[in-house]
Amino acid sequence: MIVAEFICGKNLMTGFTVSGHAGYNTNGNDIACASVSSAVQFAANLITEIFKVKSDVYVGNDIIRFKLCSESEQAGKIISGLKLQLELLSQEFPKTINIKILEV
């Protein structure tokens, strides 16, 4: 199962951690995993490369940790959009994605 944890700051989303595998199909054929990976990469690249918002990013085996260095309304909305996308994917592929909200 994929675990997606979203970090909420005072008024905005400020980061996320996504880890694990969906287990929807075998590695290389898992469209649930591929969908999540694509959405996460798109959100992270949009924030860091297009909007140039400074962020701490860690990518490891089966995990990405992403945290804004300071609050950004645009970046917070992108992270909220990622959360929405993962919620929709969890409906399309039941029991593959567990979404948690962490408030700081």
57-104 per-position pLDDT tens digit: 999 999 999 999 999 999 999 999 999 999 999 999 999 999 999 998
- Looking at the 3D structure of the chain, how many domains does it have? 1
- Please give the Cα distance from 39 to 50 (Å, whole number): 15
CATH code of residue 39 = 3.30.70.1490
pTM, to two decimals: 0.95
**DSSP H helical segments within 46-94, as ranges?**
73-92
pLDDT digits (tens, 9 = 90+) for 25-61: 998 899 999 999 999 999 999 999 999 999 999 999 9
Q: Cα 88 from chain centroid? A: 13
Q: By residue range, what is the domain housing residue 82? A: 2-103
